[in-house]
Structure 1
Amino acid sequence: MSVRLLSGAALMLGLLLPVAARAESPSTKPSHAIDHRQWNAPQKPFRIYGNTWYVGPYGLSSVLLDTGQGLALFDGDLPESAPVIEANIRALGFHVRDVKWILNSHAHSDHAGGIAALQRDSGAQVLASANGTHEMALGGADRDDPQYGSISDYPPVHHVRVVRDGEVVRLGGVAITAHYTPGHTQGSTSWTWTSCADKRCSRMVYADSLTAVSAPGFRFSDHPDRVAAFRQAIATVAALPCDILLTPHPDASNFWQKVARRKSDTDVAPLIDTGACRAYAATATTKLDARLAQEQGTRTK
């Protein structure tokens, strides 16, 4: 497949969006509190590394992986993001119908909302965890979700292939591993694979959100089993082989700051940080501890 490469100058130009549009997305807030136009701000697609590309809008990640025998897409973002993602795929010289897999991080409207449209337009197989599959079939209206009642519904997604925790799925020459990381939602999943360029391979991590966000009235501390699973999920992410960290909300991993330091779209050095997953996990632990302490303080007042 012929792919039109973006020059370093074009990459830098594409990142120079208006300041208002480039404000960091407040990813710790429930999605109903967010201006979706901010999340869906335009972003030119570009190569992250090797066969891995960024095709999402500015505020929400959607990552494209060229396996050599079809494309894999991580997350479909908002319902209104689907045409943005498809346009970005085409701008890179790919075809939407070449997307064979769509893999989901978690089944909220800002990461799964566009999947039904992308599935329809591409004919792709959707892959998710067991709980994620259940929530997508409900269009996000899952009473078991900590944010139930405060998040937007979206078009339901059906015909989803359930991927087990630790399962390795293969498309073309690429192996992708699913890591269940429940906490933000019960079905949260992180994904890992390897991308290579110029005889150098990097271990890629698409780590799901690890924030303890909920609808009013939900208390994580009332669910010790969830807290234990949340802590195990954080430990899982911390232990992942990790050269380049990507997250569903790019600001959560300082992605745009790293991209801004690149001299060209082939300059991978600013993106490489073997401690990024551990740092991401450490921040998650601090925030979870603070949330639990806040809940305890509320209870004792």
Structure 2
Amino acid sequence: MGSISRFGNMNPPEEYMARPYLMDREPFPIADHLFFVGNLWCSSHLIDTGDGLILLDTPCACGLPGLIRNIGLLGYQVRDIKYIVVSHAHTDHYGAVAALQHMSGAKTFIGKIDAKDMRHPPEYLIRMGKNFGHYNEFFIPDVELEDGDEISLGDTRIRCVVTPGHTSGVMSHFWKTRAGGKLWNVGIYGGAGFLALSRENLKKNGQPLILREEFIRSIDKVWNEKVDIMLGNHPFHNDVYQKHQRVENGEKDAFIDPEEWHRYLGGLKQEYKDFLELSPEEVAGRFGKSRLLEYYGIP
């Protein structure tokens, strides 16, 4: 990956926002009942609980056709979705929730703190929704999660942990899943991008400066979580497509890596500390250009 920061500017370039289907790829299994159904930009994960599906995060509304296609390719239907769980209040994680809930009747979940932004959207989220394509909508959640709450369906129990910083109400999620006849611990860190935490961006978006400190505290809060299979709420956070290719090449346990959680959080913490030392001019120079296509080796 070279000098590309997986936590920096990884938004799609203009052509890909205008033609979002260019980011669509086929779905694949991560574990026995856990699947990746996202695209090159946004991660969405599907859990088959035995009593219906849980969907973790949606893409922007422009990515909905690809998401529906991927669910179908796995042999499921949209109406099989019972719960939609959103990690945090950014458009690239909830933009398609309202439409998907309309089609499926699913119950929706988001952290209580970020739920306030769904009910009373601040200007920066309205602006983000417009910048990230057409048809993005806010949604009114059925369940507002608090720190330590559990989401239960079928054989799945997801523990929700508040990890603020990326937004005020980011939720990270932890549960167990089966793969290869064994039970493994799954974890997904709810929000790792830090560009919005510059003093200039926080002021522009009307967000509190305390988020800069909470970002570090949240990493420390979940440091000791036991995670065997680390997911990312963007595919470049955990190199999910590369791992899938390794599986295709015969490395059946490519997604199982008990050391990745600490490598990921440690790298995030160091990159964030380095970011805080940069001047606005240095930030613009280092992160002004999207690196998404370069990360994937797309000309």
TM-score between both structures, scaled by the size of structure 2: 0.80
> What corresponds to 2:296 in structure 1?
none
- Percent of aligned pairs with the same amino acid: 26
Deviation at 1:150, TM superposition (A): 6.0
> What corresponds to 1:84 in structure 2?
66
Distance 1:91 1:148, change over 3 A: closer
Structure 2 residue runs without a partner (length 5+):
131-135, 283-299
Deviation at 1:255, TM superposition (A): 1.9
Q: How does 1:4-153 map to 2 (within 5 A)?
A: 28-29=8-9, 35-36=16-17, 37=19, 41-138=23-120, 141-142=121-122, 151-153=128-130
Deviation at 1:286, TM superposition (A): 1.4
RMSD across aligned positions (CA): 2.9
Deviations 1:29-83 (A, max 9, x none): 3858664346861111111101101111232111000000010000111111122
The separation in 1 between residues aligned to 2:33 and 2:73, in whole angstroms, is: 15
Deviation at 1:168, TM superposition (A): 1.5
Bigger Cα displacement from structure 2, 27-36 vs 229-238: 27-36
Q: In the alignment, is the contact (CA less than 8 A) between 2:176 and 2:183 conserved in 1?
A: yes
Q: In the alignment, is the contact (CA less than 8 A) between 2:175 and 2:185 conserved in 1?
A: yes
The separation in 1 between residues aligned to 2:35 and 2:115, in whole angstroms, is: 25
The separation in 1 between residues aligned to 2:61 and 2:187, in whole angstroms, is: 24
Q: In the alignment, is the contact (CA less than 8 A) between 1:40 and 1:59 conserved in 2?
A: no
* 2:220 pairs with 1:231: no
Structure 1 residue identity aligned to 2:247: R
Deviation at 1:166, TM superposition (A): 1.3
* 2:208 pairs with 1:218: no
Tell me the secondary structure at the aligned position of residue 59 of structure 2: coil
Tell me the secondary structure at the aligned position of residue 133 of structure 1: helix
Structure 2 residue identity aligned to 1:291: F
The separation in 2 between residues aligned to 1:32 and 1:56, in whole angstroms, is: 14
> What corresponds to 2:176 in structure 1?
194
Tell me the secondary structure at the aligned position of residue 286 of structure 1: helix
> What corresponds to 1:160 in structure 2?
142
Q: In the alignment, is the contact (CA less than 8 A) between 2:247 and 2:253 conserved in 1?
A: yes
Q: In the alignment, is the contact (CA less than 8 A) between 1:183 and 1:229 conserved in 2?
A: yes
* 2:223 pairs with 1:241: no
> What corresponds to 1:277 in structure 2?
261
> What corresponds to 2:159 in structure 1?
177
The separation in 2 between residues aligned to 1:287 and 1:25, in whole angstroms, is: 8
The separation in 1 between residues aligned to 2:146 and 2:182, in whole angstroms, is: 30
- Count of paired positions: 268
Q: In the alignment, is the contact (CA less than 8 A) between 2:160 and 2:172 conserved in 1?
A: yes
Tell me the secondary structure at the aligned position of residue 262 of structure 1: helix
Q: In the alignment, is the contact (CA less than 8 A) between 2:25 and 2:39 conserved in 1?
A: yes
Q: In the alignment, is the contact (CA less than 8 A) between 2:113 and 2:168 conserved in 1?
A: yes
Tell me the secondary structure at the aligned position of residue 159 of structure 2: strand
> What corresponds to 2:287 in structure 1?
none
The separation in 1 between residues aligned to 2:139 and 2:30, in whole angstroms, is: 28
Distance 1:180 1:39, change over 3 A: farther
Deviation at 1:268, TM superposition (A): 4.0
Tell me the secondary structure at the aligned position of residue 169 of structure 2: coil
The separation in 1 between residues aligned to 2:231 and 2:220, in whole angstroms, is: 17
> What corresponds to 1:260 in structure 2?
245
Deviations 1:78-99 (A, max 9, x none): 1111222112111211121110
The separation in 1 between residues aligned to 2:114 and 2:232, in whole angstroms, is: 17
The one of 286, 289, 293 equivalent to 2:270 is 286
Structure 2 residue identity aligned to 1:152: G
Tell me the secondary structure at the aligned position of residue 151 of structure 1: helix
The separation in 2 between residues aligned to 1:30 and 1:148, in whole angstroms, is: 18
Q: In the alignment, is the contact (CA less than 8 A) between 1:40 and 1:81 conserved in 2?
A: no
Distance 1:189 1:168, change over 3 A: same
